[in-house]
Each structure stands twice: as C-alpha cells, then as structure tokens.
Amino acid sequence: MTGSDWGEFFGAAIEWTLLALVATGAIPVLSASLAFIAIPFHAVINHYGKAKPYLPRVAIIIPAWNEGLVIGQSIERLMALEYPRESLHIYVVDDASTDDTPDVILAKAAIYPDNVFHLRREQGGQGKAHTLNHGIDVVLKDDWMEALLIMDADVIYMPNSLRRMTRHLADPKVGAVSAYIREGSRDRNYLTRFIGLEYILSQPAARRAQNVLGAQACLAGGAQLHTRENLLAIGGRIDTATLAEDTITTFETQLQGRMVVFEPLAVVLAEEPRTIDALWKQRLRWARGNVSVTSKYKKIWFRPSRKHNLGSVSFGIVWFSIWLLPVAMITSSIGLLGLLFLQSDLALHAFRALWIFAACAFVFILALGAQVDSQLALRNWRELFTFPGVISMVVMLTAFFPQILLTWIPGLFGLRLTENGLFILTVAIYVWIPFSMVVAWLARKVESTAVGPVVAPILIYLAGYGSLLCAITFDSYIKEARHAEAVWQKTEKTGRVSR
Amino acid sequence: MKDRTMDRLADSAPSRHSGEPVADIRNPGDAFIQAEIDSNRRFEWLLPLKGFAALGVVLVLVVIRKLFFE
C-alpha cells in the first residue's frame, strides 16, 4: 500500500469510528422504542389469566421517621381499604422519631387495637432497609402473615388497590407484585407535573412492557407485596448494604425463579419532590444504588437462564440503556462533531437519521404514554409537550423539517444564513444534547437564588426533564468514581398527597 | 380545588363489574373479584388500539415531511 492508500484507509477508519460513536446515541432510543412497542402485547401477555380471587392475611410494614404529618392519614386510608379488616395488620416501625409520630401511631392503635401496631426502634437513622427489617423480624415470628406489603408512610392506597395486588398471589409462581405509584400532590408545580409524566412512562407504560418481557427491573418502594414464601426465600431480610434495596429485592425474587408482576390498575398516590435539589438527592441515591446493582449482578447480564429472564438480551439492553444514557449522549455528540470537523458528508446524514429516528420515537412514546393514563397526561399537557425540552424539540424539528429553522424563520426577518452562521448553528445543534445536562445542572444551582423560582423552571423547560435525570445519573458516575460516601437521605414529605 | 380524578377512578370500580351493589365491599366475594379480573383483562385490549393511534401520529409527521419538505 502506498502512503496515499494508508491515508485513505485511516481516514475511512476514523470516519467509521465516529459514525459508530454517533450510533451509540441511537441505542437508548431504539431500546425505549422496542419497550414501548411491547406495551400493546400486554393485551395478550399478562398475568390476569392466572389471577384469582385471593385475600390472604396481609402484614403491612410502614417505616416511619418523623412522619407525624402524614402517618395518621396513611393509617386511616389503609383501614378504609376494600379488604377484610381481620386480614390486615399494620406495623408502623417508628425509627426513633423525634416529632409526634409515636403519639399519632399510638392514638390510631387505640382506635384499631386489632389492626395497628407501634414498633419502636430506639436507635434510628440507619436507613429504610434497617427499619423494614425490624418490622419483618416481628411479622415472621408467628405464622399469621401470608403476604407482606412494604410501603412508604406518605402514600395513599386507592381503596381497591390491595385487592388488585393480592389476586396475582393466587398463582404460586408469583413472588411479588408491584403497584402503580402515581404522583398525587395536592399543590402541584412544574416539577411534580414532570415527575407525574415520568411515572406514567416508567410505570403503567414501561412496566407493562417488562411484564411482557418477563423481567421486572424494580418493585416500587412504596407499594410492593410479597408472599411469605418469597420473603423467606430471599433470606427474610431486606438488603442493607446498598442504596437500592428495592431493586435488590426485585432481582433476588426473580433469581429464585419467582415472578414479579406489575399491576397497572392498582393505584397508589405519592408525594414527590417539588424542588430540583430534593429530586436530585432522591435520584442520586437511586442512581448510585443502580451502580451497585449493576456491579453486584455482573454475572447475570446478557446470560439467558431458564430460571429467570434477567439475563435476557432485551432486559440487558433496557437496563444498560437507562444506566448509560448520559454516556451515549456524549459519545453521539463527539461522533457528530468529529464528522463535521472532518468535513464529512456523513455528518449531516448521520445527524438527520439519528434525530428523525429520535423524533419519531419520542412522538410514539409520548403519544402512547399519554393514552395509558390520559387523565394525568391531559392535566400535565404543558409538560407533555415539552418533556424532551423545548430546544431538543427545535433540534428534532430541524432534522425533520430542515427548511423551517434554516430557511423559513430567517426568511421571516429578511435574513439568510451565511456559511459561517450555518456552521456555528450546526455545532450548537450537535453539542446541545450533552450541554442540556449542563443547563439542567445550572437549574439546580440557580434554584436557591433570588431568581431561582423563575429561572430554574425556564431552564428545565428548555433543557428537558430527561436531561435533568441524565445529569443526575452523570453525577452518580462522578460520585462513584470519587468513592463518595453513599448515605441514605430521606426525601422530605409534608402530607401533600390527596385523592 | 380538590382533584376528584382518582375518586372517580376508585369509586367507579365496585359497581362496574356486577349488576347489583356489593353487600360487603371489604369482602365482596369471589364472583365480584373474578368479574373485576375479567373486566381488567378486557381493558388491556385497548392497548393495541392505543399503540396504533400513537403510530398514526408518527405516520402523520412522516407524511407531512414527505409531502411538504422533500
């Protein structure tokens, strides 16, 4: 080969490498699209055929640390469940609360002496898993409990929700059932509305798809029902070594060969963070927990097994697409910029292909997701239309209908894009996706300032709620790399949930 | 104003699956619960329709692009 041949060879190799980097951006989009395409199959592949009338004796464990504002209402809601009262035992594990939580629980125990029990931990603050284990030790001491419901202190169960969960336990192959945690704050703001939409997409939508795939990623922390047999099979305890106790429980259940079922019609209302800072702390805990889970179960990924579906290729792609989404966003941009600076024709084609695909996927996902819980989606219509972020929508629009941004809009003002202007605009578009994470991070930084209440929401609407979540995941990489201390921080709840 | 959406969702459930009101809603009986399971199972058959509707929205965008922007 001559020098010129080698030059061409290396040029082509670099071009294809950059193209491969661009393609990494398509993997999460493809994964999400495939998951949502699976949702309609829930009409055929679901567990209702094996569900039967079944009302086991249920022990409910509520971990409570300074929950005086919410615990009374939660107990009342549980006592109003459409479920035989003699089959309900509510154990509130008071994690050394310093407010009036013990008084509220004891008052309820006096009203419902056969149903409500106060368990006190004198040394608290070790985290939710330790608190739960205190209650589990108690309920396992005798054989009254046939099923265990783990919930949060602030959530509100719809009257028919527990009955709709227990019917799946009639199938002995089922180890655990999860419900739909629906954002239910009384005084909603832009962030709780985004969270409400996220929960629609991630629960009644995506978890239906996981029912179809036969593997569930995570039982809802605020609504998970286990059979006694399953609880004993996973060791009779909740994992205390990580921040992802719910995911560990979910994985262990399935690794034991038991099914985890998501019941989309069992609805539980929950209060969600109203500030970016509170959301960041909550999700950082979840994201760091997922890092531990990914590492703990490194031997199951992409290794299909007859016992469970956690090792299936489809589930592996779903899991890693979410976990590595920020990486894909960055590598995809690097690929596009690289091609652009090489003056390769592939840059424009790759950009169009990627973003047209992303636009179609977003539209499909949001259109289907909105129908899955249309009432909540309609109420949050502003956030529905801006869910990917206003600027990302403009980028999608540019890929889909290039004339609009490049010709029509400048034409309205009698302008025409110069070659330099077009180049700068192209660079801006190509770097936007990773940069949107920086904008989301900035939103958190300005939130606590005087202009925060106005500027922070604007930045989130511009950058997109997804970019905010990706920024948090990226932060979890940094924290893990620095081996930063992983501490359990409770999300503050103030009793804002209402039916 | 209090949001009544979930009240309607929840309260509509007991009477939807049977002709007569249930005597004891805490223990509505196997027939009622089975009817509810069957009803919920049928409800899932709306998902393919919703999937087609979502695909339809995407198709509209693609057609607009084909017709006016190519």
Regarding whether A283 and A259 lie in a shared domain, the answer is yes
Dist CA A166 CA B7 (whole Å) = 21
The partner residue sitting opposite A363, judged by closest CB among B50, B61, B69, is B61
| Closest-CA distance of chain A to residue B20, Å | 17
From residue A92, how far is each of A108, A109, A153, A188 by CA, in Å? 11, 10, 9, 28
Q: What is the pLDDT of residue A3?
A: 75
**For the whole model, what pTM was predicted?**
0.89
Mean pLDDT (whole number) for A476-495: 72
Is pLDDT of A235 > 90?
Answer: yes
B36 neighbourhood in chain A, CB within 8 Å:
160, 163-164
Q: Would you call A77 an interface residue with chain B, using a CB distance cutoff of 8 Å?
A: no
Q: What is the pLDDT of residue A389?
A: 94
Strand order across the beta sheet in which A88-95 lies:
A116-121, A88-95, A58-64, A147-151, A223-227, A174-183, A259-270, A156-157
Contacts of A264 (CB under 8 A, 6+ apart): A180, A203, A204, A207, A208, A372
Regarding whether A138 and A75 lie in a shared domain, the answer is yes
For residue B36, the surrounding DSSP H or E stretch is helix B30-43
| Closest-CA distance of chain B to residue A38, Å | 9
A400 neighbourhood in chain B, CB within 8 Å:
61, 65, 69
Regarding whether A276 and A329 lie in a shared domain, the answer is no
Give residue limits of the domains in chain B. Answer: 30-70
Is pLDDT of A219 > 60?
Answer: yes
Q: What is the pLDDT of residue B14?
A: 42
Which of A155, A368, A498 to substitute to test the interface with B, most B CBs within 10 Å?
A368
Percent of chain A at pLDDT > 70 equals: 97
A352 neighbourhood in chain B, CB within 8 Å:
none
Regarding whether A79 and A156 lie in a shared domain, the answer is yes
* ipTM of the prediction: 0.87
| Closest-CA distance of chain A to residue B63, Å | 11
Tokens read off for A8: 């061409």
Regarding whether A341 and A208 lie in a shared domain, the answer is no
The partner residue sitting opposite A46, judged by closest CB among B7, B26, B44, is B44
Going by DSSP bridges, is the β-strand pair A259-270/A156-157 parallel, antiparallel, or unpaired?
Answer: antiparallel
Q: Considering only residues 391 to 420 of chain A, which have any Cβ-Cβ distance to chain B shorter than 8 Å?
A: 400-403
Is pLDDT of A255 > 50?
Answer: yes
From residue B6, how far is each of A72, A193, A304 by CA, in Å? 20, 16, 40
From residue A53, how far is each of A414, B32, B40 by CA, in Å? 70, 9, 13
Beta-bridge partner residues of A497: A185
Regarding whether A163 and A298 lie in a shared domain, the answer is yes
Dist CA A143 CA A67 (whole Å) = 29
Beta-bridge partner residues of A262: A178
Regarding whether A386 and A286 lie in a shared domain, the answer is no
**Domains in chain A: how many in total?**
2
> Mind listing the pLDDT tens digit for each residue in A464-481?
999 999 999 999 999 988
- CATH number for position A52: 3.90.550.10
The partner residue sitting opposite A371, judged by closest CB among B27, B38, B50, is B50
Regarding whether A399 and A294 lie in a shared domain, the answer is no
Among A312, A329, A363, the domain-final residue is A312
CB pairs under 8 A between A and B: 115
Percent of chain A at pLDDT > 90 equals: 76
Going by DSSP bridges, is the β-strand pair A223-227/A174-183 parallel, antiparallel, or unpaired?
Answer: antiparallel
> Mind listing the pLDDT tens digit for each residue in A269-287?
998 999 999 999 999 999 9
Regarding whether A249 and A396 lie in a shared domain, the answer is no
> Mind listing the pLDDT tens digit for each residue in A76-116?
999 999 999 999 999 999 999 999 999 999 999 999 999 99
The residues on B that touch A, with CB distances below 8 Å, are 2-3, 5-7, 9-11, 13-14, 25-30, 33-34, 36-38, 40-41, 43-48, 50-55, 57-58, 61-62, 64-65, 68-69
Q: Look at residue A495 and tell me if it is in a domain.
A: no
Among A289, A312, A335, the domain-final residue is A312
Q: What is the mean pLDDT of chain A?
A: 92
In the block, tokens 């004993």 appear at A232
Three-state secondary structure call for residue B25: coil
| Domain assignment of residue A417, given as a range | 319-481
Q: Would you call A79 an interface residue with chain B, using a CB distance cutoff of 8 Å?
A: no
Regarding whether A265 and A336 lie in a shared domain, the answer is no
